[in-house]
Structure 1
């Protein structure tokens, strides 16, 4: 078996789609590098395509091991759970513990467990028991097609990183005024949604990595996104996005402004302001 075939077999075994249809109904084949990354994220010992044959052998060996009778994850597309093979087990029974708190018994049939009906969408737990032994597996029940409100036309929009949404009037990062203009533009074109990464305050100075997913606080918005006004507009557009420079711009812009009355601030906001300098 060549490396590409092994990678495809591994992806199939892990429930990873190797192709899909995009929003324009064009068929898309997933690149091998993407399959490698997704399979590795699901637990395969895999760094590149060349390692696919060995990773596939290891995956199959793990599934055939007597102490691991079921796969760790099962996908139920449109709620349909395929028969779950229970290897090396005799006298077993199974059930699905639903994320809503309910439970569904599974039918045992010739070494497999089968669901008597469709599962509700969500993340559930498959429980298999044989004697005093017990194993669990995650069941992901998901739709093949995104939900659309009945009677409404297909909606569309865009996703963007606000810091990179820079215009001619922007500073070192895009700001809330840029976002407002973007929203109005998308609305004028018929779109109805604009999504951005979390607008939470970040660590902006080296050596910390600026990331909205590792914020300083989840209670306040990022001051980097403030529109500092025309008085502080740059004479020349900035060529590169620079978060550290943007943080310095905000500090300079706020330095000459009167501080708010401390009595008007709650303790949490006061401590946060002191921390941010």
Structure 2
């Protein structure tokens, strides 16, 4: 291995990998040089990479890392040769504990208190050497061995996109009150899981600001989902008498007939109404309630500087554009004085955006935190132009993009458009950003789905402006991140689901099983050694089973091959590829039907409803902890929510589902009868 590749491997940059077909892919030197440059590594004039390698090896070998994540009550390491003795000082409940070292098998060991609780602890080391005394800092994260997962308990329910809920409320977009409707019906019939696509903060404008998996900020919520009636009720506004002034959107009789969501129009109308509500709230003396001025003040205190900066970003972006990279330098780099001056001059506008986040937090806490069934979805990345990137410019690697290598699903590979986190910088910062992400997204839910969970192990980096074939994988500190997920999972009693579809290294699924993170199993792909769907009892306990995902066609479209036709129409498949895929699909469908008949779940009929019920019965019989049905399948939609690899070619994340309360209740009742058998 030459010096360039040695240094790349030290940084976790994979110099080769195996693709989906098992072919060995050797990474070009130019790609490795580019990636190393994003870590601040450049060759020295005469020595090449030798000095860089020596420096990085010393850093890795240093006995005390920036952060220590472990489930054992002991800190141990091999000391450097000139270290003579040492003590560890651990901050615990405002008390500093001094723990002297002891020597075991050439290692220094610091035993921790037996009653030490899981959590986060600053560490200070005092090391006496042959030359002097070293004072070193680290951070200790004491974690459980695995995530929270109740023994012998099963869960079943629905998964849906909140925006797609098209109910008789006629508000232009599905919102949290529509979600409550579904939640109440599920609870009524014994369901205990309700998964939703991400509802994080978006720009709410085309073409890039509508994808739930391309948010501006994964720590804040999209106020487009606020129910207007709920706010009006608390503010004692009579919507019927004030509909012209405040809520003409509520009287938009044509909105229910639109099959596609117009984000910009929906947000424009809602923004106008919410601004009116904000003005009323500011002037009104609210009785002691959830919307009191005291409650708002407490929210600001809890949110700290970050939430103020987020509100500033949104207020300033309305004037200067949503890409912070085009802002004047002082605002671009987050100069505190410049931000403070803007806030002083635009205090009301900044407060408006704080008001919106406050309302979202109140609603989620009031109506969903205690339901014990809501599942949030954490996207793998964030927009390079948004709030999260702006606030963490030293953490994200903006010269790179995250994606996936070429495979059968996407022959050209995929570029997802967002920058990766520098894992070494993340570790240096004690994983503070990652911890905040997990904590914020577990705050009001009982389940957390981690999108592309392989990203905790490694992500596919692509130099900006290059094709995905010129990328490679970069590893992260997998065990550390899993430990943090386990810690927060137990603290909040949140069950964790990992999206582990596609080509996933075996060590990822092994770790998921060890950490009791539910693996995702999709009916479309699951096969036994003969190529048929597995018998229900063959599913591992630590799994979540479903028919498909948001990136796949609903069952009805799958059976009819509509997704294949669509991909051919969009030039994602050649006619020859489409014909081949159609043959594979027909073989798969026949295999599914034959097994359902063999197990007595289905008698051959021509109705979709009968086949759907048979598949639901199959799912209900699996050994999986969690069984999920997509709302699209339950109401027999044939429209796919998202076509990966498209932007303007297809109306991704815009399709609406006409949801009638009586029809939905009837279908959930039938579903409940199947899952309770």
**Into which bin does the TM-score normalised by the smaller protein fall?**
0.5 to 0.7
Deviation at 1:83, TM superposition (A): 1.8
Equivalent residue for 1:126, pick from 99, 109, 123: 123
Gaps of 5+ in 1: 12-43, 48-53, 216-220
Deviation at 1:198, TM superposition (A): 7.8
Residues 275 and 253 of structure 1: CA distance in aligned 2, closer, same or farther (over 3 Å): closer
Equivalent residue for 1:237, pick from 258, 262, 278: 258
Residues 134 and 176 of structure 1: CA distance in aligned 2, closer, same or farther (over 3 Å): same
Equivalent residue for 2:64, pick from 70, 77, 89: 70
**Match of 1:213, SS?**
strand
**Match of 1:62, SS?**
helix
Give 1 or 2: higher helix fraction: 2
1:86 lines up with 2:79 in the alignment:
yes
Deviation at 1:177, TM superposition (A): 1.9
Equivalent residue for 1:101, pick from 94, 103, 111: 94
Q: Deviations over 1:63-113 (max 9, x none)?
A: 34xxx5421121212x33352233244223122514433425143313423
In structure 2, the partner of 1:247 is 267
Indicate conservation of the 8 Å contact 2:74/2:109, yes or no.
Answer: no
5 Å-filtered alignment, 1:1-277, equals 45=39, 59-64=56-61, 68-77=62-71, 79-81=72-74, 83-102=76-95, 103=97, 105-109=99-103, 110-115=106-111, 118=114, 119-131=116-128, 132-147=133-148, 154=153, 164-169=162-167, 171-187=171-187, 188-191=189-192, 211=217, 213=219, 222=223, 224-227=225-228, 231-233=251-253, 234-240=255-261, 242=263, 244-251=264-271, 260=280, 263-265=283-285, 271=348
Q: Tell me how far apart the structure 2 counterparts of residues 253 and 195 of structure 1 sit (CA, whole Å).
A: 25
Indicate conservation of the 8 Å contact 2:10/2:57, yes or no.
Answer: no
**Match of 2:93, SS?**
coil
Deviation at 1:253, TM superposition (A): 5.7
Deviation at 1:180, TM superposition (A): 0.4
Indicate conservation of the 8 Å contact 1:76/1:141, yes or no.
Answer: yes
Question: How many equivalent pairs are there?
Answer: 223
**Match of 1:143, SS?**
coil
Gaps of 5+ in 2: 13-37, 42-50, 210-214, 230-248, 287-291, 297-346, 354-677
Q: Tell me how far apart the structure 1 counterparts of residues 52 and 182 of structure 2 sit (CA, whole Å).
A: 46
Indicate conservation of the 8 Å contact 1:46/1:55, yes or no.
Answer: no
Q: TM-score, normalised by structure 2?
A: 0.26
Deviation at 1:142, TM superposition (A): 0.6
Q: Deviations over 1:215-274 (max 9, x none)?
A: 8xxxxx9465225686335042342462x32221225667999x8597525797994699
RMSD, matched Cα: 5.3
Q: Tell me how far apart the structure 2 counterparts of residues 225 and 114 of structure 1 sit (CA, whole Å).
A: 51
Indicate conservation of the 8 Å contact 1:76/1:140, yes or no.
Answer: yes
Q: Tell me how far apart the structure 1 counterparts of residues 77 and 275 of structure 2 sit (CA, whole Å).
A: 64
Q: TM-score, normalised by structure 1?
A: 0.54
Deviation at 1:173, TM superposition (A): 3.7
Indicate conservation of the 8 Å contact 2:87/2:100, yes or no.
Answer: yes
Indicate conservation of the 8 Å contact 2:158/2:195, yes or no.
Answer: yes
Deviation at 1:130, TM superposition (A): 2.2
Indicate conservation of the 8 Å contact 1:183/1:194, yes or no.
Answer: no
